[in-house]
Each structure stands twice: as C-alpha cells, then as structure tokens.
Amino acid sequence: MIAVVDTSAVLRLFVPDGPIPDGLEAFFRGVETGSHVAIAPELLVVEATNVVLKKQRRGELSADESSGLIMLLEQMPIRYFSHRPLYKSAHQLALETGLCAYDALFLTLAQDRGAALFTADERLKREAEARGLRPSKR
C-alpha cells in the first residue's frame, strides 16, 4: 500500500496528544519491511517542526525532547514530494472543500498518487473518506 501520512498522524506516533490513527502503526511496520510506502509533501517537515517548537515554548517538551523528536522525524522512512506541482490543485481543492491550504496539499498528493491518507484531523479524514482515500483495514 502507498499512503500519504500527514503531520498530525506522524506526530501522534511520538507525542500522545490523542489517539493514533487506526492502522498507522501497522502501516509503518510494513514500511520498514518494504511492503508499504509512506509519502508526504515536504510541508510535513516544516509543519512538524513548528508543532514541536510550539510545544517546547509552552513547556510541554524540553529542549532535549524537542531536538530528539526532530531527529526522529528526520529519520522517518517517508518519501517527500515537492509542493510546486501540487499547489494549484491544492488551492482549488481548498476552495471547494473549505480545507486550509496545508491540509489540501496532503489530500491533493493522495489523490494524484492514488494513495490512502492517514490523518488525525477529523475534517481531513472525512474529505479523504469521501474520495475513497482511507487506508484499508489490513
């Protein structure tokens, strides 16, 4: 299976802000063995860094925890895609759905690649489900 992983889903693997999306841990075990492929727009790295920075500033993470989390994120087996070929379609999708441009970028990549989408964001999850882009229960 090929799946787009969004920032909210990936961060849930490391920061217990809520439930980990169903099947995400099993999916990444498959990524490690080569039976699955995780993809994301490059935005994931910046968005995740910003979330970690906010948590550190609020005292939810120490400086060492933040640095460690950034290192772990850097080591994640995710194939990144440039925004440039996606942003016009993402803009249109955001207008149609009311999603923010960031979320629309993840959904656009999933649509363009015929991939499933893992997210912890309920609104994005509903949009992915409406397009048949939810991960299968394997």
pLDDT tens column, 102-112: 999 999 999 99
HEC secondary structure over the chain: CEEEECHHHHHHCCCCCCCCCCCHHHHHHHHHHCCCEEEEECHHHHHHHHHHHHHHHCCCCCHHHHHHHHHHHHHCCEEEECCCCCHHHHHHHHHHHCCCHHHHHHHHHHHHHCCEEECCCHHHHHHHHHCCCCCCCC
Percentage, residues of the chain above pLDDT 90: 91
Q: Where are the domains of the chain?
A: 2-130
Give tens-digit pLDDT for 112-127: 999 999 999 999 999 9
pLDDT of 136 reads 60
Give tens-digit pLDDT for 47-74: 999 999 999 999 999 999 999 999 999 9
Q: What is the pTM of this model?
A: 0.91
CATH class of residue range 2-130:
alpha beta
